[in-house]
Structure 1
Amino acid sequence: MARAAAETIYPLLGAVLGDQLRVRLRCWDGSVAGPPDASVHLTLRRRRALRRLLWAPNELGLARAFVSGDLDVDGDLFESLAQLDRVVHPERGEPIRADRTGRVAALKAALRLGVLGPPPKPPVEEVRLAGRRHSLRRDASAIAHHYNLSNEFYGLVLGPSMTYSCAYWTDEAKDLTEAQTAKHDLVARKLELRPGMRVLDVGCGWGGFVRHAAREYGARAVGITLSTEQAEFARKRVAEEGLGDLVEIRVQDYREIQDGPYDAIASVGMAEHVGAAGLPGYAATLFELLTPRGRLLNHAISRRPEFTVRKDKSSFIDRYVFPDGELEPLGVQVSALEQGGFEVRDVQSLREHYARTLRAWVDNLRSGWAEAVRLTSIGRARVWQLYMSACALTFAIGRIGVNQVLAIRPDTDGGSGMPAVRRI
C-alpha cells in the first residue's frame, strides 16, 4: 500500500522546524499528521505545491504555492505567520535553509509521492519587468502593475479615505478613515500650509492629501501619479468637492516637473519606488523644485540596516506586489536628503501605526472577500491577503519601519523659517 502523503512529508517539516513549532499537516489525499492542537495548520491541496517548493525552496516557492491555492494556511494567517517567523528567522533575519541532507530527503520523498517533474508555471499574478531598472518606462510599468487593479478593489481594502499609506492613530481617531484624516493633517501641519501656498504631492495616489490641503488650508495643490486609474478617481473627487480651482491632478513623473518652485512638497509612500541608486537624484530634484525656506515632508518605509536586501530575486514582494521597490535604512534616506542640499529638521517614527493600519486593511479584505475576488481574481486576492498580513508582522516586530522626515531648503543666509520651539 502506498504511504500516505502526510506521513511522508511530516518528518521533513520536523527536520526543518525541529521541535520549536507544532504543525498540523493535511494533504491532498486526505491524510493528516501532527497534533490537532498545533500552532499552525497547513493544507497541501495538490501535489503541485511540493513541486513548487522543490524548484524554489524559498519564500518565492511558498508564495507561488499559496497564491495558486496549492497551499493553504488554515486559521488566522497573521498569527500563523508570526509563529512560523519565530522559528524560521533568527535574530539577524536570515531564513533557515535546508542542508544537503534535508534536500536529498526532500527529493526522495518527492519521488515516492510521484511529484517530480518540470517547474510549474508561476501564477499569472507574478510579474517580471523588462527594460532598464527605474527608467521612466519601467517605473510606469511597475506602478501600473500594482495600482491599476481597479479603484473599486482599492476602495474595498482601503475604505472611504482611499489612502494607501500609514494612518496616524491618534486618541481621537475612532476608525481607519479618521486615522487617515489625522495623517493628512499631520503632514499639512508639519509643512505649515497656509492659504495660497503652492504644494506638490509626489505620488498623490487617489488625491486624499491634496484635497485635504486645499479644503482645510486653502493651499493650491498639484498631485502627480503614474497611475491613470488613480488620476481618474482623484480628478472625479476633486470635481465633486468643488476644489477644481485649487487642485490639479497630473499623470506625470516627478523627474519631468517643470513648473517649480513650490512652497512645500509632500512625498508620502513614494520614495520606496525610487531605488537606492535613484535617491540622490530624487533628493536633488525635489530640492530644486522648492523655494528657499520651503519644506519637504518625506514619508517612507525603511528597513533595519542589519537586514540585507536579497539579490537572488526570490522576494515575494518584488515578484507580486511592488516590482523594483527598494527599502533603504533611515540613515541612507536622511543622508541622501542632506547630500541633495536639504537640512533635516525632524524625524518621527510611525512603525506601530503602520502595523495597525495593515491589520485594518486585512480586516476589510476579509469582510469583502467575495467582492475582492470578483473585482480582481482569487489569486490576486490571495496575494493581498499574504502581502498585508506579512507586512503587518514585519512592522510589528520591527524588521521594517516607517518615518516622516521633515527637511527644509535653507535660504542663502542659512535661514530656515522654522519655529524656535517644536510645535508638533
Structure 2
Amino acid sequence: MADAALRLTSLAEEVLGVPLPVRIRAWDGSESGPPDMPVLVVRHRRALRRLLWRPGELGLARAWVAGDIDVEGDLYRALDLLSEFVWERDPDAATVHPLRDPRLRAAARGLLKLGGALPPPAPPAEEVRRRTGPLHTRRRDQEAISHHYDVGNDFYELVLGPSMVYSCAYWDEGEGTLEDAQRDKLDLVCRKLGLGKGDRLLDVGCGWGSMARHAAREYGAQVTGITLSREQAAYARKRIADEGLTDRIEIRVQDYRDVRDGPYDAISSIGMAEHVGRVRYRQYADQLMSLLRPGGRLLNHQIARRPEKNEAAYHVDEFIDRYVFPDGELAPLGRTVATLEEAGFEVRDVEAIREHYARTLRAWVANLETDWARATRLTSVGRARVWRLYMAASAVSFERNRIGVNQILAVRTPVSGQSGVPARLRDWRG
C-alpha cells in the first residue's frame, strides 16, 4: 500500500476527467500530485469509507470534521481550487446514481480496495440527525437555532471579537479593524432606518445585543430585541446592564411570529432571514409589515444565492444543513425583493456588499486559528473544525460570487405616497 496517494490521485482524475489541482498525501506517507500546491492529507483510510457510503460533499465534510482529512498549506487556495468539483458541480450530474455511471462504478471499486469493505463509520458527534416533519415550525426552528448559537458565548467571543456581531461587517478601503468595520455596519443600519431619539426599534434576531446597544446608545432609540437563543439573550442582557441601558432595551426569547406589540418605527433584521425558509418567507414579510407604522422602515440584511438555471433542481448545501445551519435556506435576491413587495413594502434601496463578507469571514477564521487550542477547549475539536471549514469555504463562495449579501431598505409607505426616504439615495440623514 506504499502507493496509496498515487492510486487516490488516479481515481480522482478518472472521475473528474481533469488533473487533480491539489497534491495528496496518504496515510502510508506517500505523496502524489503537482508540487508547490496545497496538500490534501488523507490521514486515515476511514475517509474513503465515508466517501463510499456518502459520495460527494457530505462524505468529505464528515471526513474533515472527524479529522480523517486535512489541508496543509493555504486552506483558502485549496478550497478555491476544489470549488468547481465540490460546490459548483452540475446539479443534474450530482443526482446521477454512482451505479449508473461506469466511471463512478470503477472509482467505487478502487475506493473499496483502498478503504476496506467495512461498515460505514459513524458520523461525527457534531452532525445533526436528519429531521422529519414540516419545515420551520416553532419547535423545529428553536432546535435549529439552539444547535448553531448555543455552543458557548466564550467560543463566539473568541471568533467574533469584542463586538459580538455575527454578520457581515462594513469595511473601509483602508486597513481598519474588524471592530471598526462592525461598528460602521451597525451605524449604517441605524442611518438607513433614520433612527432618532425615542424611536421604537424592533431588532429581529438580535443575537448578542450589539445592534440594540448601538441604536440605544448612539441614537437614543427604544429597542426590543428578539432571539430564540437563550444563551444569546442572557449575554445581551448582561452587556446591556453593564452599559446602563436597561431602561432603553428589552431582550426577549421570542419567535418573530409571536410579536404583538407594534407598531414600531423601524425594524432591523440582520442575518436572521436565512433561517426563515421559503415556506415561511411570505409570513415573515407579512408579519414585519404588520408591526411597522405607516412610514416605518425595514432594513433586511440577508445572504442570497445565485439563481439556478433550473430552480426545481436546487438543493440545500448538505454540509451546512447537517453541521452549521440546520434548515437554513438561501434565496435569490430577486425572490426576496418580490416577496417583500407582495407583502406591501416599497423597496427603496438594495446595497450589495458581498466582498465585505469575504473579508469579514477571513477575519473570523484568523481569530479562530490564532487561539485554536482555547477554541477546542471551549467547545470540541470537531466543532472548531466545522467552524473553520464553513467560514473559510463561505469566504471563497463570496469571493467567487456563488453567494452574496444585500441590505434591502423597504418602507411601509403610507397612502399619501410620502415614503420619508431622503431624495438622494445613500444620503441616510433624516
Q: Normalising to structure 1: TM-score of the pair?
A: 0.94
Task: Quote the residue 2:279 is aligned against.
Answer: 277
Q: Which letter maps to 1:80?
A: A
Counterpart Cα distance in 2 of 1:136 and 1:222: 20
Q: Which letter maps to 1:43?
A: V
State the 1:86 CA deviation.
4.4
Task: Quote the residue 2:223 is aligned against.
Answer: 221
- What is the aligned counterpart of 2:288 among 279, 286, 289? 286
Q: How has the CA–CA distance of structure 1 residues 94 and 380 changed in structure 2, closer, same or farther, with 3 Å as cutoff? A: farther
Q: Which letter maps to 2:70?
A: D
Does residue 402 (structure 1) correspond to residue 396 (structure 2)? The answer is no
Task: Quote the residue 1:305 is aligned against.
Answer: 307
- What is the aligned counterpart of 1:383 among 381, 386, 407? 386
Task: Quote the residue 2:83 is aligned against.
Answer: 85
Task: Quote the residue 1:55 is aligned against.
Answer: 53
Equivalent runs, 1:17-416 vs 2, <5 Å = 17-37=16-36, 39-86=37-84, 100-113=101-114, 115-128=116-129, 129-171=131-173, 174-306=176-308, 308=311, 315-416=318-419
State the 1:105 CA deviation.
2.1
Which whole-Å deviations, capped at 9, do the CAs of 1:315-351 have from their partners, x for residues lacking one?
1001100010010011110111111111111110011
Q: Is the 8 A contact 1:169 1:353 kept in 2?
A: yes
Counterpart Cα distance in 1 of 2:344 and 2:105: 55
Q: How has the CA–CA distance of structure 1 residues 94 and 398 changed in structure 2, closer, same or farther, with 3 Å as cutoff? A: farther
Does residue 421 (structure 1) correspond to residue 424 (structure 2)? The answer is yes
Q: Which letter maps to 1:302?
A: A
| 3-state secondary structure, aligned to 1:201 | strand
Q: Is the 8 A contact 1:21 1:87 kept in 2?
A: no
Q: Which letter maps to 2:67?
A: G
Q: How has the CA–CA distance of structure 1 residues 107 and 88 changed in structure 2, closer, same or farther, with 3 Å as cutoff? A: closer
| 3-state secondary structure, aligned to 2:109 | helix
- Greater alpha carbon shift after TM alignment, 8-17 vs 296-305: 8-17
State the 1:411 CA deviation.
1.4
Q: Is the 8 A contact 1:301 1:402 kept in 2?
A: yes
Which whole-Å deviations, capped at 9, do the CAs of 1:368-387 have from their partners, x for residues lacking one?
11111001111101101110
Counterpart Cα distance in 2 of 1:62 and 1:333: 32
Q: Which letter maps to 1:419?
A: P
Q: How has the CA–CA distance of structure 1 residues 309 and 362 changed in structure 2, closer, same or farther, with 3 Å as cutoff? A: farther
Q: How has the CA–CA distance of structure 1 residues 343 and 309 changed in structure 2, closer, same or farther, with 3 Å as cutoff? A: same
Counterpart Cα distance in 1 of 2:279 and 2:266: 25
Q: Is the 8 A contact 1:262 1:289 kept in 2?
A: yes
Counterpart Cα distance in 2 of 1:398 and 1:79: 16
| Unmatched 5+ stretches in structure 1 | none
Instruction: Supply the RMSD in Å over aligned alpha carbons.
Output: 2.0
Equivalent runs, 1:9-24 vs 2, <5 Å = 9-24=8-23
Counterpart Cα distance in 1 of 2:271 and 2:315: 25
Q: Which letter maps to 1:276?
A: R
Q: Is the 8 A contact 1:12 1:102 kept in 2?
A: no
Q: Is the 8 A contact 2:304 2:406 kept in 1?
A: yes
- Greater alpha carbon shift after TM alignment, 111-120 vs 156-165: 111-120
Which whole-Å deviations, capped at 9, do the CAs of 1:248-296 have from their partners, x for residues lacking one?
1110001001111100000000111011111111010000000010000
Q: How has the CA–CA distance of structure 1 residues 83 and 309 changed in structure 2, closer, same or farther, with 3 Å as cutoff? A: farther
Counterpart Cα distance in 2 of 1:282 and 1:149: 26
Counterpart Cα distance in 1 of 2:7 and 2:84: 25
Q: Which letter maps to 2:45?
A: R
Q: Is the 8 A contact 1:214 1:247 kept in 2?
A: yes
Q: How has the CA–CA distance of structure 1 residues 94 and 71 changed in structure 2, closer, same or farther, with 3 Å as cutoff? A: farther
Q: Is the 8 A contact 1:352 1:396 kept in 2?
A: yes
Counterpart Cα distance in 1 of 2:112 and 2:423: 72
State the 1:107 CA deviation.
3.0
Q: Which letter maps to 1:248?
A: E
Q: Which letter maps to 2:177?
A: D
State the 1:216 CA deviation.
0.3
Counterpart Cα distance in 2 of 1:60 and 1:298: 31
Q: How has the CA–CA distance of structure 1 residues 4 and 240 changed in structure 2, closer, same or farther, with 3 Å as cutoff? A: same
Q: How has the CA–CA distance of structure 1 residues 133 and 260 changed in structure 2, closer, same or farther, with 3 Å as cutoff? A: same
Q: Is the 8 A contact 2:224 2:252 kept in 1?
A: yes
Counterpart Cα distance in 2 of 1:80 and 1:389: 10
Counterpart Cα distance in 1 of 2:160 and 2:124: 25
State the 1:46 CA deviation.
1.0
- Greater alpha carbon shift after TM alignment, 408-417 vs 296-305: 408-417
State the 1:92 CA deviation.
6.5
Q: Is the 8 A contact 1:130 1:138 kept in 2?
A: no
- Greater alpha carbon shift after TM alignment, 113-122 vs 361-370: 113-122
Q: Is the 8 A contact 2:22 2:81 kept in 1?
A: no
Which whole-Å deviations, capped at 9, do the CAs of 1:374-423 have from their partners, x for residues lacking one?
01111101101110011001101111110000011111322212222221
- Greater alpha carbon shift after TM alignment, 391-400 vs 71-80: 71-80
Q: Is the 8 A contact 2:46 2:115 kept in 1?
A: no
State the 1:6 CA deviation.
2.2
Q: Which letter maps to 2:240?
A: V
State the 1:241 CA deviation.
0.5
Q: How has the CA–CA distance of structure 1 residues 119 and 312 changed in structure 2, closer, same or farther, with 3 Å as cutoff? A: farther
